[in-house]
Amino acid sequence: MKKAFIFDLDGVIVDTAKYHFLAWQNLAKGLGISFSSAQNEQLKGVSRIRSLEKILEWGNTTISEEEFTRLMHEKNEEYLEYITKMDTSEILPDVPRVLDYLISQDQAIALGSASKNARVILEKVKLYDKFHAIVDGTNVSKAKPDPEVFLIGAQELDVSPENCIVFEDSVAGVQAANVANMISIGIGDAKVLHEADYIFNDFTEIKEEFINNLVMAKKV
Ligand code: B16
Ligand code: MG
């Protein structure tokens, strides 16, 4: 049986949240807004536009449309400086093992990320070639929890949604997978990701037997 395994990027394959945080923090500082790492948690899986809107809301600040566009560009320029230095050492534990096992089992693999920089990051960490389809922030018009990003991935792989399995670290991403009628696997804190069908701290806990069962499983 062929299933499609759809991976989120930030927080699942690599931890780019720390670079987003550095760049957003600098931007917030320039606006006189203080911004904590707890607040950064709320930006995970959230689009670039929505992230800036949230930071402005937290700081009770309004800016012009031109300033908004300029700041988003500036933030991304700084973020790009960090990610161009990334290499394979930044891949989260056991992600290559799981990807290679899926490939050995002839399963379909897609990326489903909100990031417009996803392709650059996958190239930097040398995982680009492992994906049969890449759906990212440049392909979608609706942000998670809307299921668009995962539904496009399923379509590109020609696999029906109920035969898709999504790995996600964000609440919005887990919700998007559930709305799409896909099996959702939360990667991270079980208290935060309790809406997922299965939850693991990281990929070191995901064994081949579990993957084999997923290949045979049906979403109920
Ligand atoms: P960019 P994911 C998301 O990636 C990040 O978690 C989120 O913090 C970021 O704002 C968003 O991508 C957009 O990223 O500015 O690079 O387009 O978790 O969906 O892989
Ligand atoms: Mg994520």
Q: pLDDT band for position 217 (50/70/90)?
A: confident
pLDDT of 177 strictly over 80: yes
**Share above pLDDT 90 across residues of the chain, in percent, rounded to a whole number:** 91
- Shortest CA distance to 50 belongs to which of 6, 112, 116? 116
Ligand 1 atom 8 nearest Cα: 44
User: pLDDT tens for residues 94-115?
Assistant: 999 999 999 999 999 999 999 9
Q: How far is the CA of 171 from the centre of ligand 2 (A)?
A: 9
Alpha carbon separation from 35 to 14, 72, 115, 214 (Å, rounded)? 23, 16, 21, 40
Mean per-residue pLDDT over the chain, rounded: 95
pLDDT of residue 219: 59
Q: What is the mean pLDDT of residues 12-25?
A: 96
Query: From start to end of 11-146, where are the E strands?
Result: 108-112, 133-135
| Closest ligand relative to 111 C-alpha | 1
Q: How far is the CA of 6 from the centre of ligand 1 (A)?
A: 16
pLDDT of residue 63: 97
Of ligand 1's listed atoms, the one at least distance from the Cα of 149 is 19
pLDDT of residue 154: 98
pLDDT of residue 99: 98
Can you tell me the distance from the alpha carbon of 25 to that of 33, in angstroms, rounded to the nearest whole number?
9
pLDDT of residue 41: 84
Can you count the helices (H) and strands (E) in the chain? 9, 6
Q: How far is the CA of 20 from the centre of ligand 2 (A)?
A: 12
Output the ligand 1 site: residues, CB below 6 A.
8-11, 20, 43-48, 51, 76, 113-117, 137, 170
The answer to whether 114 touches 144, Cβ cutoff 8 Å, is: yes
Of ligand 1's listed atoms, the one at least distance from the Cα of 9 is 20
Of ligand 1's listed atoms, the one at least distance from the Cα of 43 is 8
Q: pLDDT band for position 45 (50/70/90)?
A: confident
pLDDT of residue 37: 83
3 state DSSP class of 118? helix
Alpha carbon separation from 109 to 5, 166, 192 (Å, rounded)? 5, 10, 26
The whole-model pTM stands at 0.94
| Closest ligand relative to 118 C-alpha | 1
In terms of pLDDT, which residue wins out, 64 or 216?
64
pLDDT of residue 220: 54
Active-site positions? 8, 10
pLDDT of residue 35: 85
Using most ligand atoms within 8 A of CB, pick from 113, 144, 148 the residue to mutate for ligand 1: 113
Q: How far is the CA of 44 from the centre of ligand 2 (A)?
A: 6
| Closest ligand relative to 120 C-alpha | 1
